[in-house]
A and B are shown apart, each in its own frame.
Chain A
Amino acid sequence: EIVLTQSPATLSLSPGERATLSCRASQSVRTYLAWYQQKPGQAPRLLIYDASNRATGIPARFSGSGSGTDFTLTISSLEPEDFAVYYCQQRSDWFTFGQGTRLEIK
């Protein structure tokens, strides 16, 4: 099973700042990686797929990069609605998720 490790577990930032979230895979997943956002009491929402492609309706401030085992989700300038939990997911070998990064207001 491919294990995805996200860091940091919690990220404390202020609106307007830049957020950088990491996801590391236990073996190469090529670019078969996605990012999801989940707010309290809501279902996850697909943000990024194939490592760097924004899903429909996702603002341009969200961007993804990486390949192989190391991936990054960047939010260029945080809006109040961006504070949530973010998960990465791979589909190279079945489907697994990272444990999540909580992005909280500083």
Chain B
Amino acid sequence: EVQLVESGGGLVKPGGSLRLSCAASAFTFANAWMHWVRQAPGKGLEWVGRIKSETDGGTTDYSAPVKGRFTISRDASKNTLSLQMNSLKTEDTAVYYCATEIAGWFDSWGQGTLVTVSS
């Protein structure tokens, strides 16, 4: 069974940085297109960005609100997905989920990690 485990969440001040990780297991991580999706407290789901598989170039795409501030990367040797978040804003407060993509759909999800941006 696919397993995704996020970590790295916490409290950070506005303007600060945080790095989230997602440990993947039980599937061929190198071949997977991976995403980050977030959910503000009591709100709906919002796509953050994705990284293609290494065989498909490993390129990244981001939503408008995070473009230029967030960076997604992957380490195939460690089966780990990362999200580097810089210049954080209060509106970035959310639970951040990593998810696998199958043909454009979010097939498997981690349990999420909470990021709180507050002074």
Contacts and interface: CB of A to CB of B under 8 A. Distances in A.
Query: A and B from one assembly?
Result: yes
Interface of A: 32, 34, 36, 42-46, 49, 55, 87, 89, 91, 94-100
A81 B40 CA distance: 24
A89 B109 CA distance: 15
B97 interface: yes
Contacts of B63: 94
A95 B97 CA distance: 15
A6 to B, nearest CB: 9
B7 to A, nearest CB: 15
Interface of B: 35, 44-47, 61, 63, 97, 102-107, 109-112
Contacts, number: 46
A55 B107 contact: yes
Contacts of A89: 45, 105-106
Contacts of B105: 34, 46, 49, 55, 89, 91
Provide the main secondary structure of the chain A interface.
loop
A44 B97 CA distance: 9
Given A89-B106, A100-B45, 19 more contacts: A34-B105, A34-B106, A36-B106, A43-B97, A45-B109, A46-B105, A46-B107, A49-B102, A49-B103, A91-B104, A91-B105, A94-B47, A94-B61, A94-B63, A95-B104, A96-B47, A97-B44, A97-B45, A98-B44
A91 B104 CA distance: 6
A32 B103 CA distance: 10
A44 B46 contact: no
